[in-house]
Structure 1
Amino acid sequence: MSVFELTLDPGEHIIAEGGDVAWLTPGFDMETSTSFGSGGKGGFMSGLKRMLGGGQLFLTKYTAPSRGGFVAFAASMPGQIRHLQIDAADEFMVQNGSFMVSTNDVEVSVGLQRKLGVGVFGGAGVIFQKLSGSGSAWVQLSGEIVEYDLAAGQSMLVHPGHLALFRAEMPLEFAKVKGVKNKFFGDSLFLAEIHGPGHIWLQSMTPDKLAAALEPYLPKENSSSVPSGAN
């Protein structure tokens, strides 16, 4: 389980989802607002759009005290934390729930929402958040990470849950693959087709697959059992 620890000089600050902090040195000023994570350009509506894109309505700004300090964030899934440099030429789409921390002028917004039917994620569909603006951002990706550079005219078919991160300008579409029944008894398998040119990051683990792997080992309540001594 990865941990991201960031040392800040006096007065420096970073933006993060409020409940994700793991530990920090004393003295940090913590302020929560809907306008954070909108590149300084929005308020409640920007926060609402971010929430609709799978993020949090409120984000927290952590400002270091006069002596400086550090703040640490723990990943929610086994995997890796990656740094992204954001500017007008480098915008990214990241899986819902992957955003961790950014500098103030990075905008976190809904990038793509697609309901793919009951066979994918139990009908929840797929959501990507868009990271734009200017500055640095850190994202958590699950499991092992495999990266590919796609040239112009190249494309790749990827299960949507394994497409962790890609450059925002890359075209993405979804299609049914006939002849393969998915595990939720759908009549076909949905795959994402992403087109080059651009760079993609694929993750080996998805939350739904991890949950499915652990489910057989979780205790189950036996509703038919009768407590000892009951009449």
Structure 2
Amino acid sequence: MQVHTRHTPAFGVARVILGPGEAVQAPGESMVASSFGLTEVAGGRRSPSVFTAPAEGGWLDLAPSVAGDVYALEFDGRTGWCVARHAVFARPASVRADSWPGLRTMFGAEGTSQGFLEHYSGTGPLVLACAGPVDQFHLAAGELISVHPGHVLAYPDTVQCRLRAVDPSAQQSIRTGAGLMLDFAGPGTLLVQARKSR
């Protein structure tokens, strides 16, 4: 699977190129156009559709339901990434969501199902839908940065992360990130969206 983006950063469209019999998961309503012969198995109310290429392969154009950027995050099979839950847009079967101890440490026992981050690993591109253009912060070893959770898009396992309350006496939400701040320490690349997620 290959991904080429266009109309970025304001109205991103991702062209997903699939090999023979390859499949990608994405929201059914996100499909703009495709090569002839591509099949779709519709997901449930909250589940993505699965688009599969015929024997000769094919392509599929996907666009998020709201304006913003699309970004293809390439997985190399060696490093996992924590990704904003709301941002995951399309993925092949070779990139999997998994339970990760780091999220349980950050969010508690229910972290992987209740928090605003998910952990992914595997190989291939994970397509992210972003509220705004994507900024990359390349952190050197020990370099520190603080980011509001609504702007965090993704960071690799090499980056250390700590969740803290902005004001311990104010209300906070693990589900949305409200009232919280994330502190990151390098080395690694932190992906941030320039507009806060809705």
TM over 0.5: yes
* Cα distance, 1:200 vs structure 2: 0.2
Per the alignment, residue 147 of structure 2 pairs with 158
2:174 maps to which residue? none
- Cα deviation for residue 11 of structure 1 reads 2.6
Over the aligned positions, Cα root-mean-square deviation in angstroms equals 3.4
1:73 equivalent among 50, 62, 72: 62
Structure 2: distance between partners of 1:126 and 1:90: 21
Among 191, 202, 206, the alignment partner of 2:181 is: 191
1:201 to 182, 185, 191: 191
Q: CA deviation at 1:25?
A: 3.2
Change (3 A) 1:76 1:167: farther
Q: Is the 8 A contact 2:151 2:197 kept in 1?
A: no
Residue in structure 2 matched with residue 226 of structure 1 by the alignment:
none
Which residue, 27, 50, 63 being the options, matches 2:37? 27
TM-score (norm 1): 0.62
Structure 2 runs not aligned, ≥5 long? 1-10, 108-113, 172-177
- Shift in Å at residue 67 of structure 1? 4.7
**How far apart, CA to CA, are the structure 2 residues paired with 1:148 and 1:173?**
17
The aligned counterpart of 1:93 is 82
Q: Return closer, same or farther for 1:97/1:178 CA change in 2, 3 Å cut-off.
A: closer
Q: Which amino acid aligns with 1:13?
A: A
CA deviations 1:170-190 (Å, max 9, x no partner) are: 2211223349x89xxxxx952
Q: In the superposition, relative to structure 1, how do residues 189 and 135 fare at CA in structure 2: closer, same or farther (>3 Å)?
A: closer
Q: 1:67 to 1:105 in 2, by over 3 A?
A: closer
Counterpart contact for 1:14–1:61, Cα < 8 Å: yes
Superposed CA deviations along residues 126-175 of structure 1, whole A, max 9, x for unmatched, are 51122202222221222122211112212111111111111134221122
| Alpha-carbon separation, structure 1, partners of 2:20 and 2:142 | 48
Alignment-derived partner of residue 11 in structure 1? 21
Please list every run of at least 4 consecutive aligned residues from structure 1 whose deviation after the TM superposition is greater than 4 angstroms. none
Taking a change above 3 Å as real, the CA distance of residues 194 and 76 of structure 1, as seen in their structure-2 partners, is farther
Q: Secondary structure at the match of 2:159?
A: coil
1:168 maps onto 2:157 in alignment: yes
Alpha-carbon distance between aligned partners in 1 of 2:123 and 2:197, rounded to the nearest angstrom: 30
Unpaired runs of at least 5, structure 1: 35-55, 116-124, 183-187, 209-231
SS at match of 1:65: coil
Q: Is the CA contact 2:155–2:188 (under 8 Å) kept in the aligned structure 1?
A: yes
C-alpha displacement at 1:89, in angstroms? Answer: 2.0
SS at the partner of 1:97?
Answer: helix
Q: How many residues align?
A: 176
Matches within 5 A, 1:121-136: 126-136=115-125
State the percentage of identical aligned residues. 23
